[in-house]
Amino acid sequence: AQKITQTQPGMFVQEKEAVTLDCTYDTSDPSYGLFWYKQPSSGEMIFLIYQGSYDQQNATEGRYSLNFQKARKSANLVISASQLGDSAMYFCAMREGNAGKSTFGDGTTLTVKP
Amino acid sequence: SQTIHQWPATLVQPVGSPLSLECTVEGTSNPNLYWYRQAAGRGLQLLFYSVGIGQISSEVPQNLSASRPQDRQFILSSKKLLLSDSGFYLCAWSVRRRPGRGSYEQYFGPGTRLTVT
């Protein structure tokens, strides 16, 4: 079974508007971490934001926030005030276990239109 | 600050040739190390991870192998490359930053783009 599901292969957003990228996950481990990464065309993976399974509040990092709904097993990324430089592939990932093994979704390609 | 290096950046190899990709981490001790492969337009697939020197766990059976000869060095190898080995190979490291939480942030190297011809 897919552990991380990103249902939006591609998304478009107008510059300066907010956009939500969806991510649902599946795990029976009570201790896990959820992450979002940005991958521009250069290929580098850029860490954006982290949410721990025990964290009570939603994580925020600048223009990025993570809408964590534990009961629904969703961890959507919200990007506020989109910029042209936000155009990239975005990956949701889940880390479980002591070795920190990660499972990645298939990604969402975000295109910001001027 | 910590940095992670990977080389080479790009590589074109014929089918049946050997492979050696190297990854080194600076500025941290006892990191967990990971090798991922990314097919074009897809997510990352975990290939190997290591929690210490000489300790390698394989996630996907294939003709690749990994070794960790030193604490901050992780090597991905193959004796004979297949066409299906083409892809973008990423090395990553992590360290436990939240004791007891069991969750780690991972930081990635710049990647190696391998084309097997």
Determine how β-strand A10-14 pairs with β-strand A108-113. parallel
Identify the H or E element spanning A31: none
How high does pLDDT run on average in chain B? 89
pLDDT at residue B2 in the model: 76
Cβ contact A50:A59 at 8 Å: yes
- The distance in angstroms from the start CA to the end CA of chain A is 38
Q: How far is CA A77 from the centre of its chain?
A: 5
Give CA–CA dist B13/B36, Å, rounded.
Answer: 19
The dihedral built from the CA positions of residue A91, A92, A95 and A96, taken in this order, carries a sign that is negative
- Average the pLDDT over B74-100 and give the result: 86
Q: Which of B90, B98, B105 sits opposite A47 (nearest CB)?
A: B105
- Average the pLDDT over B3-19 and give the result: 95
pLDDT at residue B102 in the model: 45
Chain B partners within 8 Å of A103 (Cβ): 46
Q: What does the pLDDT look like over B46-70, one tens digit per residue?
A: 999 998 899 998 888 678 999 999 9
pLDDT at residue B98 in the model: 52
Phi, psi (degrees; rounded to nearest 5) at A107: 90, 160
pLDDT at residue B96 in the model: 58
* Position B97 confidence tier, pLDDT thresholds 50, 70, 90: low
- The distance in angstroms from the start CA to the end CA of chain B is 38
pLDDT at residue B95 in the model: 76
Put simply, the answer to whether B103 touches A97 (Cβ < 8 Å) is: no
* C-alpha dihedral, B6 to B54 to B82 to A92, nearest 10°: -60
Q: Minimal Cα–Cα distance from B103 to chain A, Å?
A: 5
Q: Which residues contact B100 (CB under 8 A, 6 or more apart)?
A: none
**DSSP three-state, residue A99:** coil
Chain A partners within 8 Å of B103 (Cβ): 31-33, 50, 52-53, 95, 100
Return per-residue pLDDT of chain A as tens, 114 residues: 569 999 999 999 999 999 999 999 999 888 888 999 999 998 989 989 999 888 889 999 999 999 999 999 999 999 999 999 999 999 999 987 666 678 899 999 999 999
Q: Which residue has better confidence, B13 or B42?
A: B13
* Position B104 confidence tier, pLDDT thresholds 50, 70, 90: low
- What's the CA angle centered on A4, arms B33 and B98, to 5 degrees? 45
Amino acid, res. B55: Q
- Average the pLDDT over B87-101 and give the result: 76
Closest-approach residue (CA) in chain A for B94: A100
Q: Minimal Cα–Cα distance from B87 to chain A, Å?
A: 11
